[in-house]
Amino acid sequence: VGLLFTSRTPPPEPLEPFPLGALSPEDSTALLQEQAGGELPAEASAWIFQRARGNPLFGLEYFRHLSRLGYLWSDGRRWRWREPEGKTMPTSVEALIVQLTRGQSLAPVAEAAPMARALLPSSSSPQLWAQAAGLELRELTQAEEELERQGLLAEGEFVHPLFAEVVRREMPPQERQAIARRAIEALSIPDPEGAAAFVEAAGLDAAQALTLLERAAHSAQHRGQGRQGAEFLAQATRYARGEARAALAFRAAWQLQGFDPNRAAALSEVALQTDPHHLEARFLLAELLSRLGRGEEAERLLHDLPPEQRPAQRWLEALLYARISRYDFAGALEGWQPDPA
């Protein structure tokens, strides 16, 4: 005689647990197609698997959710698919996760442990997790063991990524801010780039945010990660004003132009709007607009500069580039006249 049953939590001794793994992509697709009664578009099956991660209950709930919303439908001959915009989650799945996460009882001192786990990167050390949660390592170990017994964590991670997503969504703002500030305190010296990820959640004042983001940018550039450094500078523009904001936006645009010309152009425009006398931002924006096939806009930008403020050779080169970029060769030849204005 044997007794077989399922449970989210480890069974008591002497029962022996056999963990049930996630479905493979192939098994997940087979389950969904059995539910649909026909073949699903491969893109739909892959999208559902990416969100459900092989959890059969979550997979079926996503199938029903997407069908109700009209993202996955049958025209009577075959199933059709259009990808949802942004994130979407079945209310049944969210309600289940909220019930599971809220229904667990932890000692008050350890209640921040799952919230800190949800906010921190998966690679975070136990020391950082403890400090962000405001716990001693011993207290964190006890909280982690309890969360694993309750079926929320396994080996220090949430048993499913959607658990972390729901915990982040349901987190009280004051708790989010406190955890983020403790994480910054722990990381600001050894890892300013890691600390910068918590700037927004921490609600730092402008001066603190600027200092941290510029340090993160310097750290990234020192490691040869120019694009990441530029992104930190771009983020810093939200906290700066006046000439300082223009300077940050221009630096970010200059470093991003080889990676993302559209974003570099947008940042150059921010610099120029903030400081209309920023000559370097104007010429960089004109060059980027020309490269992006927007030569007419580039030429208008150059003509907006009063004649007495135009560096003659540089202005002429920018004008010629703008005209050539849109195949206006006659205009480019005309530009060689003594007074191109």
Dihedral of CA 166/19/34/43: which sign?
positive
What pLDDT, in 10s, does the model give residues 163-207?
A: 999 999 999 999 999 999 999 999 999 999 999 999 999 999 999
Tokens of 330: 């006659």
Tokens of 11: 């069974």
What pLDDT, in 10s, does the model give residues 40-64?
A: 999 999 999 999 999 999 999 999 9
What pLDDT, in 10s, does the model give residues 202-254?
A: 999 999 999 999 999 999 999 999 999 999 999 999 999 999 999 999 999 99
Question: Residue with structure tokens 């996955």?
Answer: 72
Taking each continuous run of H as one helix and of E as one strand, the counts in the chain are: 19, 4
Cα separations (Å) of 9 from 100, 157, 158, 164?
12, 15, 13, 18
Q: Write down the mean pLDDT value for the chain.
A: 90
What pLDDT, in 10s, does the model give residues 257-315?
A: 999 999 999 999 999 999 999 999 999 999 999 999 999 999 999 989 998 888 888 88
3-state DSSP call for residue 224? coil
At a CB cut-off of 8 Å and minimum separation 6, what does 100 contact? 8, 151, 152, 163
Least confident range from 69-73, 239-243, 299-303, 320-324: namely 320-324
Tokens of 184: 């910054």
pLDDT at 19: 72
pLDDT at 286: 94
Please give the Cα distance from 293 to 87 (Å, whole number): 33
Q: Do the Cβ atoms of 101 and 162 come closer than 8 Å?
A: no
At a CB cut-off of 8 Å and minimum separation 6, what does 181 contact? 198, 202, 204
- Half-sphere exposure in the Cβ direction for 28 (13 Å, CA): 26
